[in-house]
Amino acid sequence: MSESSADRRDGLQQIAPGIYIHTGYEGANVGCIVTDVGAIVVDTPLIPTEGKAWAAEVLRLARRVLYVFNTDHHRAHIMGNQYFDAPVVAHELAWKEMSSYKDAFIERTKNLFKRQPEIAAQFDEVVIKKPEITFTGRLVIKKGGREIHFIRLGGHTAATSGVWLPRERILFTGDVVVVGEHPSLGQSNSKEWLETLARLRRMSLVAIVPGHGPLCNVEATQPISDYIRLMRLKVRHQIKAGRSKSEAATVVTQMIDFFPYRPGDRSFIEKRIRAGVNRIYDEIKASYGEEKEGVSEEETLS
């Protein structure tokens, strides 16, 4: 998909009038929706210096920030919340998860960068800014000439939500859609994820802003569905063969080449796949004998 604006600097793209995304930060993609009275930010960068840079960029684009929306409670989406002088909006279950984050959560995040001490030291200033506004199904804001829907998508986590712009027909999906990488299934409901992806394929979308990877369209949902279905099939075979969850780990090597990855990331990707295998093992085991593998297309989100 081609960019709709030449305004691209180090990952910043204008994908429609007043709608910006940045795909160049460590962690998840971030977005900015400019209205006549201020901006709505979608997710915030993981690394503090990048969080500050994104906050400054948003204030260049808009006079002020109205809300910060977190697509879920994972660190890649929330660590820069504190750099925005605006209330955070998220699903009720994201608030519940983030309310449990203490110093140990920040320390674990810091440890991810132990080989980059100049980055690790930045997390000493981080505090977790939790949601002040929550919803469970859908929250609609009509402000500054825009209509913006915050909608629960589920699948990736129970809290995963998106931002739907019905006039522009643009959907920010969070990590329900990722492009060119292994999706994270460690906290997923894989059946619900497949159902959500099927609904997205029924929508008349101009663009999808994925949680990770470049701007895309609905065709990008199919490889994720294929991946989840294949993992479910392989795990189901392990269960039918009477193998334990630890024995089902053989699925990791069967799945690892489905998406590309950098050689140095192999250990990390193996852990991600293993977490997904364990999750699906429990999911299928809990409903064994009742679940059907086919997923029907459902009504659109619009």
| Phi, psi at 295, each rounded to 5° | -125, 125
- Give the domain ranges of the chain: 12-219, 225-286
Percent of the chain with pLDDT strictly greater than 70: 92
Burial of 129 (0-12, 13-18, 19+ CB in 10 A): buried
The CATH architecture annotation of domain 12-219 reads 4-Layer Sandwich (3.60)
* DSSP-derived secondary structure for 105-133: HHHHHHHTTTT-HHHHGGGGG------SE
- Residue 6 pLDDT grade (very low, low, confident, very high; cuts 50, 70, 90): very low
3-state secondary structure of 69: strand
Poorest-pLDDT segment among 60-69, 105-114, 254-263, 283-292: 283-292
Strand locations in the chain (E): 12-16, 19-22, 30-35, 38-42, 65-69, 88-91, 133-135, 138-143, 146-152, 161-165, 170-178, 207-212
Pairing of strands 38-42, 19-22: unpaired
**Cβ pair 258, 230 in contact under 8 A:** yes
The total of other beta-carbon atoms located within 10 Å of residue 152's CB is 21
The pTM of the full predicted model, rounded to 2 decimals, is 0.92
What pLDDT is attached to residue 267? 95
Residues 6+ positions from 81 with CB-CB distance below 8 Å: 44, 68, 70, 88, 128, 129
What pLDDT is attached to residue 10? 64
- Residue 301 pLDDT grade (very low, low, confident, very high; cuts 50, 70, 90): very low
What pLDDT is attached to residue 289? 53
pLDDT in tens, 271-285: 999 999 999 999 999
Distance between CA atoms of 149 and 135, rounded to whole angstroms?
A: 11
pLDDT in tens, 198-257: 999 999 999 999 999 999 999 999 999 999 999 999 999 999 999 999 999 999 999 999
What's the length of the chain?
302
The pLDDT mean for the chain works out to 93
